[in-house]
Structure 1
Amino acid sequence: MRLNEVTYNDAKPIEGYGPGFFRIGGEVFESAVLTGADGTHAWGGFEDRDMLLALAGQVDVLFIGTGAEIAHIPSALRDPLEEAGVGVEVMSSPAAARTYNVLLSEGRRIALAMLPV
């Protein structure tokens, strides 16, 4: 069996999460986060759509982690993102973190916004 080393280019993988926190690239964040090729930043949640709209043209897919359970995101968030050409995939934060890491290792143009579990 041959193993290949995974590289993540500029973006950092999700290393862990727990109640109220995420560990990304060796740093702990105790809030909702937005992460991708431009780094990791605190995110204000569903009402903070400007940070996500700024990703238009930079990413092909934005994963949105809705916390411990999957939930619908408000149309006031989804509609402007889709109009701007940002593909949106909604799932629980644990599933979003795993999916993000896999696609990040493949060199995809993605970003992840997550609410804590």
Structure 2
Amino acid sequence: MKLQADRIDGTNAISRHGPEGVIVNGVEHTTSVVVPWKGQVLAWPVSDFAALSAEHFAMVAGLKPELVIFGSGRRIRFPSAALLRPLIDQHIGIETMDTAAACRTYNVLLAEDRPVVVALLFEAAAASPV
């Protein structure tokens, strides 16, 4: 789904999203990704929800946002508090949504000039039965 046509100056706007990935500032990302409001878009080295660890969220916390939006994939799934401890310890807000809602919410907060990060989980497609 196309979200917006133009980049907001100096920020990382998501212009399209779908089950296979997102386009940020004209660049397609088809694996899990961390999109900060400003700065470099980062690969997020997690390929499935069950593999999430506190270290994955510590990477996000290191960007020092006010709020993190976690896009958990096609459906909403909540990580445990133990996984979110790096964010909680730094008093960083966290919201969990499905990836489509996370992309939309991120762009709204970005337009409000908020220091927000979206961490998007894109899981590898399951192999189809033969």
Q: TM-score normalised to the size of structure 2?
A: 0.76
In the aligned structure 1, how far is the partner of 2:8 from the partner of 2:112? 8
**8 Å contact from structure 1 (residues 7, 105) kept in 2:** no
Aligned residues: percent identity? 29
Aligned residue for 1:64, secondary structure, equals: strand
In the aligned structure 1, how far is the partner of 2:8 from the partner of 2:70? 20
In the aligned structure 2, how far is the partner of 1:87 from the partner of 1:35? 16
Whose strand fraction is larger, Structure 1's or Structure 2's?
1
Give the unaligned 5+ runs of structure 2: 1-5, 47-51, 124-130
1:25 is matched with 25
Q: Give 2:29's aligned amino acid.
A: F
1:107 is matched with 113
Residue by residue, what CA displacement relative to the aligned partner does 1:32-62 show, whole Å, maximum 9, x if unpaired? Answer: 000111221110233223311202xx31101
**Relative CO higher for 1 or 2, CA cutoff 8 Å, sep ≥ 6?**
1
Q: Give 1:69's aligned amino acid.
A: R
2:94 is matched with 88
In the aligned structure 2, how far is the partner of 1:96 from the partner of 1:63? 6
Cα pair distance change 1:86/1:30, threshold 3 Å: same
RMSD: 1.8
Q: How many residues align?
A: 110
In the aligned structure 1, how far is the partner of 2:80 from the partner of 2:43? 20
Cα pair distance change 1:41/1:7, threshold 3 Å: closer
In the aligned structure 2, how far is the partner of 1:53 from the partner of 1:77? 12
In the aligned structure 1, how far is the partner of 2:7 from the partner of 2:25? 12
**8 Å contact from structure 1 (residues 63, 113) kept in 2:** yes
1:3 is matched with none
Q: How far has the Cα of 1:15 moved from its partner? A: 1.1
Q: TM-score normalised to the size of structure 1?
A: 0.83
2:80 is equivalent to residue 70 of structure 1: no
Give the unaligned 5+ runs of structure 1: 1-5
Worse overlay, 95-104 or 8-17: 8-17
Q: How far has the Cα of 1:17 moved from its partner? A: 1.9
